[in-house]
Chain A
Amino acid sequence: MVNTAVNLSGMQMDNPVIPASGTFGYGYEFTEWYDINVLGSFSFKGTTRDPRFGNPTPRIAECPAGMINAVGLQNPGVDKVIAEELPKLKKFFHKPVIANISGFSVEEYVDCARKLDKEEQVGLIEVNVSCPNVHGGGMSFGTSPEAAAEVTKAVKAVCHKPVYIKLSPNVTDIVSIAKACEEAGADGLSLINTLLGMRIDLNRKKPVIANKMGGFSGSAIFPVAVRMVYQVYDAVKIPIIGMGGVSTAEDVIEMMLAGATAVQVGAANLIDPCACKQIIDDLPAVMAKYHITNLTDIIGGAHA
């Protein structure tokens, strides 16, 4: 027998597999494919204070071993998520969920976090700091240690639940940002968000995506994600949720060896709606193959 259970800042999970924000909606769409209670947890669609339509279409472009999306945080707004999506989810999912929030100002993050922190179904808050700061010249909060720390402090001040900061890989030194978040009181870190990418249509000779650029995800970015999780694990003491191109049970183990306590699966859900269930089903046999009895034993195992 193998033990797949892990614990994220007090949130006990049957397994480390978590569908990543933006690839799993508010869970409902996947209930037609499988019983989503097999999941460790899931991170719901990036939610903002106000409703957002997002970017114009086309929003999707294909890449070798991956895809680019520029959805632009389409969501119904935090009040509607609490009034409609969470009650609907309650019927299908009986575990704590990860509330992924975004904002374009510190105040927006705080408003959103304060409301979701009160929700019984929310196990932890995951703060996406990859959005542009409208009061900071449009630069993403996640690209400066100071701005990331400011958001972390502000959100921590209004939350009782664990706060994880989801880091952007589009930076010179992710380690300095990770450390700044830890010092500002973050309970954990999620990494990595998508890599900024672009495709150009040869027929039209123009960018494929209306927004021109978007977030590159999928198995192609897995090595980048493993490297960043490995580097950040060395520099911080708080737990890490590793993500970026994970699509198999072997990837989950590799990510945990790099230093992740739990693992998110993103783009894979969009190609194979049952991807997470498959990974969870495969995990015990893959653990046995590599002589792993307790999954928690291997966290950071690749470090000297």
Chain B
Amino acid sequence: MKQAFFQVIENTALTESVYRMKLCGDTEGIRTGQFVNIKLDGLFLRRPISVCDVEGDTLTLIYKVVGKGTQQMSQMTGGTLDVLTGLGNGYDLTTSGDHPLLIGGGVGVPPLYLAAKLLRAEGKQVSVILGFNTKDEIFYEQEFAALGCDVTVTTVDGSYGVKGFVTNAMKPGYTHIYTCGPEPMLKAVYNASETSGQFSFEERMGCGFGACMGCSCKTKYGNKRICKDGPVLVKEEIVW
């Protein structure tokens, strides 16, 4: 965990409400599946955002505008942000097997990008299912494909790709699951999955580094803090 100042070097709208922000600063120690916690002017609590990518000193975040904090972020064209980095446990890529399946729903897609990149670098055969409500909300299909992943997009309304939910596109043959998305999606993937897997959860947080117990959940291995012991839980420990 670190506190560092990052320079905003890019902030691009990917869809009507989803933005990609690139930040330049001390990225040392940031791992796949972790998140950062950003201080914003006039807002008391920091805003936790998942790590999409790290390349040298560039940190990429993809976020959806859902409230005051993300609204403020979307309007930044430059400037400096006070960021806590290296938060959360992140994905463990050592248990992927040769054919990992990555499943992301909506703004649950971004944290899978760095995982996909690292797994591809290890020569794994990576399948990716990206779920959205409708065609207009789709982002990063090409980016995952460019990594050499086998990408399937699902839309709830059938306006693009496979109609329905991410589970409609799951095919046997994968060795391990990495997933992130809204809780109903995680639960559906949990029920449909035939292998071990890692599930990244979201919760309203206070501190983001394990101090306040604001984001606790029950697991088969005892109480865990989503921010510190998570956000990634392994399949066998999850209690719905």
Per-position binary interface string of chain B over residues 54-87, scored 1 when its CB falls under 8 Å from any chain A CB and 0 otherwise:
0000000000000000000000000000001000
Which of the candidate stretches B134-142, B143-151, B199-207 sits at the interface with the other chain?
B199-207
Query: Do A270 and B206 have beta carbons less than 8 Å apart?
Result: yes
Interface string of A264-299 (1 = CB under 8 A from B): 000101111110000000000000000000000000
The SS class assigned to the B binding surface is: loop
Q: Is B216 a contact of A58 with CB atoms below 8 Å?
A: no
- State how many angstroms separate the Cβ of B235 from the closest Cβ of chain A: 21
A-B contact count (CB 8 A): 92
B44 at the interface (CB under 8 A from A): yes
Cα distance, A29 to B213, chains bound together (Å): 11
Q: Is B210 positioned at the interface, with any CB of A under 8 Å from its CB?
A: yes
How far apart are the CA atoms of A54 and B224 in the complex, in Å?
Answer: 12
B211 touches A30 (CB 8 A): yes
Kindly provide the distance from the CB of B122 to the nearest chain A CB, expressed in whole angstroms.
29
> Chain A: interface secondary structure?
loop
Say whether A218 contacts B44, CB under 8 Å: yes
B124 at the A interface (CB under 8 A): no
Cβ of B20 within 8 Å of any chain A Cβ, yes or no, is no
Given contacts A33-B1, A60-B204, is CB(A270)–CB(B211) below 8 Å? yes
A60-B207 Cα distance, complex, nearest whole Å: 10
Within 8 A of B (CB), among A20-62: 22-25, 29-30, 32-33, 45, 53-54, 57-62
- In the complex, the answer to whether B1 meets A32 with C-beta atoms within 8 Å is yes
**Which of B212, B217, B228 lies in contact with A270, CB distance below 8 A?**
B212
Q: B-facing mask of A55-76, CB < 8 A → 1, else 0?
A: 0011111111111010100100
B187 within 8 A of A: no
List residues of B (188-228) whose CB comes within 8 Å of A's CBs.
Answer: 203-207, 209-218, 223, 228
Q: Once the chains are docked, how many angstroms separate the CA of A61 from the CA of B1?
A: 24
With A22-B212, A33-B1: A67-B204 Cβ-Cβ less than 8 Å: no
* B203→A58 contact, CB < 8 A: yes
Q: At the interface, yes or no: B168 with Cβ under 8 Å from chain A?
A: no
User: Which among A22, A53, A271 is the interface contact of B45 at CB below 8 angstroms?
Assistant: A271
Q: Smallest CB-CB separation from B203: which chain A residue?
A: A57
Please, how many angstroms separate the alpha-carbon atoms of A96 and B204 in the complex?
33
Given contacts A29-B209, A69-B206, contact A59 B3 (CB under 8 A): no
- B39 beta carbon closer than 8 Å to chain A: yes
Chain A residues lying within 8 Å of B211, measured Cβ to Cβ, are 23-25, 29-30, 269-270, 273
Nearest CB of chain A from residue B155's CB, rounded to whole Å: 23
CA distance A69 to B43 in the complex (A): 16
CB of B31 within 8 Å of the partner chain? no
Pairs A–B under 8 Å by Cβ, sample size 18? A25-B210, A25-B213, A29-B209, A33-B1, A45-B213, A53-B216, A54-B213, A60-B204, A60-B212, A62-B44, A69-B206, A74-B223, A208-B204, A269-B211, A270-B211, A270-B212, A271-B39, A271-B207
Task: Enumerate chain B interface residues (CB-CB to A < 8 A).
Answer: 1, 3, 39, 43-46, 84, 203-207, 209-218, 223, 228
